[in-house]
A and B are shown apart, each in its own frame.
Chain A
Amino acid sequence: MIRVVLPAHLRTLARVGREVELQVDRSVTQRSVLDALEARYPVLRGTIRDHVTHQRRPFLRFFACEQDLSHEPPDAPLPDAVATGAAPFLVVGAIAGG
């Protein structure tokens, strides 16, 4: 199972805890993980990626294994530790706004 950690506001919106687990049947990438997340929690559509372009919203970042993966191509494989469930994929709200 893929583990995803969401920021507080999105946890409230989706009515989930800090971490959710997802089944991803295809190659584990940003796109496949977020597709699975949005399929299970449709209220999150448009909150992490733009509805139409699927581009990451500007003030959100994607971290895993102590790496910033925000600028990686959406179809690039995520680290093995994420694919095996050993490490979570983190959706992080940028520090902005005071």
Chain B
Amino acid sequence: MSGVRILVGTRKGAFVLSADGKRDRWDIGGPHFAGWEMYHLKGSPADPNRLYASQTSGWFGQIIQRSDDGGKTWFPPGSTPDQLTTPQGMPKGESNKFVYDTSPETGKPLTTHQWYDGTQHPWEFKRVWHLEPSLTDPDVVYAGVEDAAIFRSSDGGKSWHELAGLRGHGSGPHWSPGAGGMGLHTIILDPTHHHRMFVAISAAGAFRTDDGGTTWKPINRGLHSLYIPNPTAEVGHCVHRMAMHPARPGVLVMQKHWDVLRTDDAGESWREVSGNLPTDFGFPIDVHAHEPATIYVVPLKSDSERYVADGKLRVYRSRTGGDEWEPLTKGLPQRDCYVNVLRDAMAVDALDPCGVYFGTTGGQLYASADAGESWAPIVRDLPAVLSVEVQTLP
């Protein structure tokens, strides 16, 4: 019987949960990296035992961790002296070295973005928000970082280089940090167009490359944001999350700061599909594993409150690609609940029926083994959940 592994990043460590295909009894492993902020963990689609994790700290900076045995053991890739020593005998230790490319050859000399006070501010690396392993090569992985940029490793996370064309395409000076920082938090790899990637940045918007990351274009036509001077500007939108179904790679859905949107042409244009949602502010959005038109969101009351409305934790599902939504509440608290679900904290498995999972800032990890019809907490008292990823195991 196939199984499921859940990778959970929290404010105070990482947890690895596993179950068989019934998904009714869970083994909970962890905390790994106790006391550290674990922004994101994700497994390689090409090798499910290869996992990558972003471990961060305001004191000690960024660490990249890797597991080659499905999360049983971890190590910072390339960090032991025998792996690192160059022919000259010097240690390298570059698995946590994220240096912006400003070279004339590959990096445009773009060194500033818009700061909170409207002045220009230099790019400063703070942390890795999201790790996206290649669909085909376990040693290739992309990192979305704050301040917003995308990096690539082709040696299993031992070293990283920036795909500088994203910052260099010209609109960078108009990007600005949101309250949570200027992070590149979403990376989507197109399974049919191997050189195409989509990324999203708070608060700059969505971007697409069709040449493997050399050049990028903003794809924000149709977005309307009242918190920027020109609500339909090319960049400056606070995109919270995007998702795509691999069977329909030209169709993406987006949860923006306000508004849920969909594109049917790979981002050339977007239209709002918030429909009858009680509120269209929120963070995560995901797509059913087998039904490309079925979408899940978790609406929050507002951007100034950032908890679910009316004390009720409700996942909303659309089976029509948006516009028409239904609340999913069975098994979820329907009174006195004031949690948030962060942008990277929802995921689906590929079993049938599709499993849906999300973690809250209150430390609960909820699971549905029937595509959202009913829910139950796997664990209730983790630290605040930052990210949830799911692997469906053979």
Tell me if A45 and B35 are in contact (CB < 8 A): no
Contacts of B96 in A (CB 8 A): 45-47, 51
In the bound assembly, the distance between CA atoms of A31 and B295 in angstroms comes to 54
Tell me if B58 and A59 are in contact (CB < 8 A): yes
Residue of A nearest to B78 (CB): A42
B73-109 at interface with A (beta carbon < 8 Å):
76, 79-81, 84, 91-94, 96-97, 99
Residue of B nearest to A46 (CB): B96
In the bound assembly, the distance between CA atoms of A57 and B97 in angstroms comes to 14
Give per-residue flags for B333-365: 1 if the beta carbon is below 8 A from chain A beta carbons, else 0: 000000000000000000000000000000000
Give per-residue flags for A2-37: 1 if the beta carbon is below 8 A from chain B beta carbons, else 0: 000001111001000000000000000000000000
A40-62 at interface with B (beta carbon < 8 Å):
40, 42-48, 51-52, 57, 59-60
Contacts of A43 in B (CB 8 A): 63, 76, 79-80, 93
Residue A39, interface by CB 8 Å: yes
Give per-residue flags for B164-191: 1 if the beta carbon is below 8 A from chain A beta carbons, else 0: 0000000000000000000000000000
Residue of A nearest to B36 (CB): A9
CB distance from A81 to the nearest CB of B (A): 26
Tell me if B57 and A42 are in contact (CB < 8 A): no
Contacts of B76 in A (CB 8 A): 13, 43
Tell me if A45 and B91 are in contact (CB < 8 A): yes
Residue A77, interface by CB 8 Å: no
- Contact of B63 (CB < 8 Å), options: A47, A59, A60, A93: A47
Contacts of A46 in B (CB 8 A): 61-62, 93, 96-97
Contacts of A45 in B (CB 8 A): 91, 93-94, 96-97
Contacts of B58 in A (CB 8 A): 59, 96-97
B31-50 at interface with A (beta carbon < 8 Å):
35-36
CB distance from B124 to the nearest CB of A (A): 10
Residue A76, interface by CB 8 Å: no
Residue A94, interface by CB 8 Å: yes
A84-98 at interface with B (beta carbon < 8 Å):
93-94, 96-97
Contacts of A60 in B (CB 8 A): 59-60
Tell me if A57 and B84 are in contact (CB < 8 A): no
Tell me if A42 and B92 are in contact (CB < 8 A): yes
In the bound assembly, the distance between CA atoms of A94 and B59 in angstroms comes to 8
Tell me if B63 and A38 are in contact (CB < 8 A): no
User: Of residues A8, A10, A47, which shows the largest number of chain B Cβ atoms within 10 Å of its Cβ?
Assistant: A47
Known: A9-B36, A59-B58. A39 touches B91 (CB 8 A): yes
CB distance from B157 to the nearest CB of A (A): 13
CB distance from B249 to the nearest CB of A (A): 36
Residue of B nearest to A97 (CB): B58
User: Of residues A45, A57, A94, which shows the largest number of chain B Cβ atoms within 10 Å of its Cβ?
Assistant: A45
Tell me if B91 and A9 are in contact (CB < 8 A): no
Tell me if A42 and B97 are in contact (CB < 8 A): no
Residue of A nearest to B84 (CB): A42
Contacts of B99 in A (CB 8 A): 51-52
In the bound assembly, the distance between CA atoms of A46 and B80 in angstroms comes to 15
Tell me if B60 and A57 are in contact (CB < 8 A): yes
Tell me if B81 and A40 are in contact (CB < 8 A): yes
List 29 contacting pairs A-B, 8 Å CB cutoff, sorted by A. Answer: A8-B35, A9-B35, A9-B36, A9-B60, A10-B60, A13-B60, A38-B91, A39-B91, A42-B81, A42-B84, A42-B91, A42-B92, A43-B63, A43-B76, A44-B93, A45-B93, A45-B94, A45-B96, A45-B97, A47-B63, A48-B60, A51-B99, A57-B61, A59-B58, A59-B59, A60-B59, A93-B60, A94-B59, A96-B59
Binding site for A on B (CB under 8 A): 35-36, 57-63, 76, 79-81, 84, 91-94, 96-97, 99
